[in-house]
Amino acid sequence: MTSSPVYQCKRALIIGINTYQNNSLNYCINDAKDLMTTLNRIGFKEVLLGVDCKRTKFLQMVETFAGRIKPTDLTLFYFSGHGKQYENENYLLPSDYDYDYSTRESIYLLDNAVSVQTNVRTKGGSDQQGLSPMHASPETLIAYACAPGAVAVDETRNGRNGYFAEHLLKHIATPNNDIEDILKIVAREVKLQTSGFQVPFRTSSLTEKVCLVTSNVQGQYDSPFLNRFEKHTIDIQTLIHERHWLLSRELYGWLENCLPNNLGSNFPLLQHLFVDYSQDQLCSLVIEACEQLNISTDDENTPEKNLQVINYCQEKLLRAASFDLPLTLSTQTSSECQNLIQQYYEMR
């Protein structure tokens, strides 16, 4: 199996724009800020963030970022905001873009927007909606939130992020996962969530596997428990308090109920339904819950306190669940499964 190259530095430039003279957006800044947080967590050494940038600031950030890139770096550029295409050229719109119809928009774009092909320096008519497809430069991956010529939906399911960003954030920190595989999962989930209206698109000239993170630098849950060596040499049950162990087993039983009894070989497993799932993760999550709820192992072991811990863990797992979870639960008729489906969508 081909391994991911080792990069000297991982860098990112992220720009999110909500505020426009016309047709302002709602979730782009959240998307940008949340991606910055995630990239910092998985080992990106330099992440530049621009919010509601005017064209001058936008171009300055691109120039600054480009000037720091070295051949041995892994670089990521992310833009969330309005975009246009004209004669197969893509333009990203800064917050001060204000076309007033006094001249042809093709002329206005040249002086007031940011050309992807020229200003952002990737190589690749009409004034159609959306963006046009581009040919990726060598060892480059270009991803769109929607198909060329289409538009992304300015809606949210989780109350904070757009559809594409929601699913990207859910999967991008998965260790040892090729970014192209991650984007396939994101595209599938966005397509399902929007009933086929929005279908993410990508074009790639990558010749090697690229993993943004090769080890779980800081996972979905902020209580790292064991390193890889320890997990292979020490029985986890001997290292944690019996109360934590029993609660993690109860939580595992709840998860198993999410799977149908007639599980086929091709049916999703727990690691497909919950991001970063492992049995060790359940132990870490129980420990985190006890810390957050101020429940000590010295406290009286009551059903009420145990239920608090289980409810906390269940909520965290539901928030980290993939779109496969409600589809899987829908194959069962129990009221508990139907309630979980409702809770899943209420969190989004």
Give 35: exposed, middle or buried? Use CB within 10 Å, 0-12, 13-18, 19+.
Answer: buried
Q: Please report the pLDDT score of residue 51 as a whole number.
A: 95
Q: What number of helices (H) and strands (E) belong to the chain?
A: 12, 8
Domain chopping of the chain, boundaries: 9-205, 236-347
* Residue 347 token pair: 């969190």
CA nearest 323: which of 276, 273, 255, 278?
Answer: 273
Which of 110, 93, 105, 126 lies closest to 21 in space, CA to CA?
93
> Which CATH entry fits the domain spanning 9-205: 3.40.50.1460, 1.10.1040.10, 3.30.70.100, 3.40.50.150?
3.40.50.1460
Give the residue from 189, 162, 196, 227 showing the smallest Cα distance to 25: 162
Backbone angles phi, psi at 27, to 5 degrees: -120, 0
Calculate the alpha carbon distances from 19 to 27, 42, 53, 81, 150 in Å.
Answer: 10, 29, 9, 9, 21
Quick one: how far is CA 4 from the chain centroid? Answer: 20
pLDDT one digit per residue (tens) for the chain, 348 residues: 445 667 889 999 999 999 999 889 999 999 999 999 999 988 898 999 999 999 999 999 999 999 999 989 999 999 999 998 887 788 999 999 999 888 888 889 989 999 887 766 432 333 344 434 444 567 889 898 887 767 787 888 888 999 999 999 999 988 888 999 999 999 999 988 888 889 898 888 888 999 998 864 444 444 344 333 333 444 455 566 888 888 888 888 887 776 665 544 445 567 677 766 676 778 888 888 888 888 887 788 788 888 999 899 888 888 878 777 888 888 777 888 888 888 888 876
* Full-model pTM: 0.59
Name 49's bridge partners: 14
Contact of 304 with 315, CB cutoff 8 Å = no
Tell me the C-alpha distance between 348 and 336, whole Å. 19
Pick the closest to residue 45 from 71, 78, 5, 73 (CA basis): 73
C-alpha to C-alpha distance for 94 and 112, rounded to whole angstroms: 8
Burial class (CB in 10 A: 0-12, 13-18, 19+), 209: middle
Q: Which residues contact 285 (CB under 8 A, 6 or more apart)?
A: 221, 223, 248, 251, 313, 316, 317
Q: What's the confidence (pLDDT) of residue 238?
A: 53
What lies within 8 Å, CB to CB, of 58 at 6+ separation is 15, 50, 92, 94, 114
The DSSP result for 208-260, as a single string, is S--BS-SS-SS-SSS-----HHHHHHS-GGGTS-HHHHHHHHHHHHHHHTTS-
How much is the pLDDT for 320? 79
Contact yes or no for 285/323 (Cβ under 8 A): no
State residue 302's pLDDT score: 84
Query: Which one, of 258, 320, 256, lies nearest residue 284 by Cα?
Result: 320
Q: How does DSSP classify residue 201?
A: E
Tokens of 77: 């550029």
Sheet holding 9-16, edge to edge: 46-51, 9-16, 73-80
